[in-house]
Amino acid sequence: MHHIIQIAKHLNSYEHDRLLGTVVFPMQTKFLKYWRDIPLLYSFAFILDPRAKLRGFNRVLSILAGVTHHDYSGYLTLVRAQLTEVFNKYEAKFGAVPSVRPSQTTRTGKKRTNWGMIYGDDDDLFSTPIGGTSSSSNPTPSASLSRHT
């Protein structure tokens, strides 16, 4: 998910570049063709990561919505329903199993920076939660990926 956000932001930032604009447009179109609808498996994997959970996933969808101008509120509802269904099937088959939590370690470096992108302040422009409203007068950037599709 981190890479999807980075690619979308990068393409968005070069959309109006005088030299690269003609090359970026087909790249944006292809990117949106494959990544506008996030595969359910990727969503589950991201949510099940103990560093992300649903809060992080909601943040990722907010960032993507801001960059691609695509409404992900229905997708968030779908993911929650599907995840609940999978959990109920698991619980019915295996029952309640006591969980043991491993100790958590703190990491630094590139991975830490990627999580900072999701939980940090560098994306204040896209901080509106899915389905919410923004106090900013312009919650989305002027360059639009979805405008070209």
Helix (H, G, I), strand (E, B) or coil at 108: coil
Q: Return the pLDDT at 83.
A: 94
Q: Taking residues 4-28, what's their average pLDDT?
A: 90
Least confident of 9-13, 22-26, 79-83, 102-106: 102-106
Q: Return the pLDDT at 95.
A: 82
Please state the three-class secondary structure of 114-140 as a single string. HHHHHHCCCCHHHCCCCCCCCCCCCCC
Q: Return the pLDDT at 21.
A: 86
Render pLDDT for 97-145 as a digit per residue (tens, 0 to 9). Answer: 666 666 666 555 555 667 676 766 554 444 444 544 444 444 444 444 4
The pTM assigned to this predicted structure is 0.61
45 versus 148: the higher-pLDDT residue is 45
Q: Return the pLDDT at 69.
A: 84
Alpha-helix runs per DSSP H in the chain = 2-13, 21-35, 40-48, 53-68, 73-94, 110-119
Compute and round to an integer the Cα radius of gyration of the chain: 18
Number of H helices, E strands in the chain: 6, 0
Render pLDDT for 25-59 as a digit per residue (tens, 0 to 9). Answer: 999 999 999 888 899 999 999 999 998 899 999 99
Domain extent listing, the chain: 2-95+104-131
